[in-house]
Homo-oligomer: A and B are copies of this chain.
Amino acid sequence: MLKKEDKIAIIGLGYVGLPLAKSFSKYYNVIGYDIDIKRVNDLKKNIDRNIDVDLKDTKIVYTINEKDLKDSNIYIITVPTPVSNENIPDLNCLENATRMVAKYLNKGDIIIYESTVYPGVTEEICVPLIEKNSSLKYNVDFFCGYSPERISPGDKNRHLSNIVKITSGSTPEIASKIDTLYKKIIIAGTYKATSIKVAEASKVVENVQRDVNIALMNEFAIMFDKMKISSSDIFSAAKTKWNFINFSPGLVGGHCIGVDPYYLSFQSMKFGFTPELLLKSREINNSIPKYIALKVMQFINEKKLIKEEAKVLILGYTFKENCADIRNTKVEQIKIELETYSVNVFTYDPYVKLPYTNLEIDPFINNEKYDIIILAVSHNEFRNYTIKDFNRISKEKLVLLDIKGLYKFSTWTL
Residues of A that sit less than 8 Å from B by CB: 119-120, 150, 158, 163-164, 166, 191, 193-195, 197-199, 201-203, 205-206, 208-210, 212-213, 215-216, 219-220, 222-224, 226-227, 229-230, 233-235, 237-238, 240-245, 264, 267-268, 271-273, 275-278, 280-281, 284
CB of A342 to closest CB in B, whole Å:
29
Q: Are B197 and A229 in touch, CB under 8 angstroms?
A: yes
Question: In the docked arrangement, what's the CA distance between A230 and B150, Å?
Answer: 22
Q: Which residues of B contact A205 (CB under 8 A)?
A: 220, 234-235, 238
With A198-B233, A277-B219 known as contacts, the answer to whether A119 contacts B227 (CB < 8 A) is yes
Q: Which of B216, B233, B245, B267 contacts A193 (CB 8 A)?
A: B233
Copies in the complex: 2
The verdict on A224 contacting B201 (CB below 8 Å), with A233-B194, A237-B166, A240-B166 known, is yes
On whether the beta carbons of A213 and B213 are closer than 8 Å, the reply is yes
Q: Which residues of B contact A222 (CB under 8 A)?
A: 273
Known: A193-B237, A277-B277, A281-B277. A272 touches B226 (CB 8 A): yes
Complex partner residue of A201 from B213, B234, B245, CB under 8 angstroms:
B234
Residue from the list B195, B197, B202, B216 in contact with A208, Cβ < 8 A: B216
- Of residues A202, A210, A241, which shows the largest number of chain B Cβ atoms within 10 Å of its Cβ? A241
Given A163-B242, A212-B216, A276 and B268 contact (CB-CB distance below 8 Å): no
Contacts of A273 in B (CB 8 A): 222-223, 226
- The 14 listed contacts between A and B (C-beta, < 8 Å) are A163-B242, A166-B240, A191-B240, A193-B233, A195-B229, A198-B233, A205-B238, A209-B216, A209-B244, A209-B245, A213-B245, A223-B275, A226-B268, A276-B284
A210 surroundings in chain B (CB, below 8 A): 243
Cα distance, A226 to B219, chains bound together (Å): 29
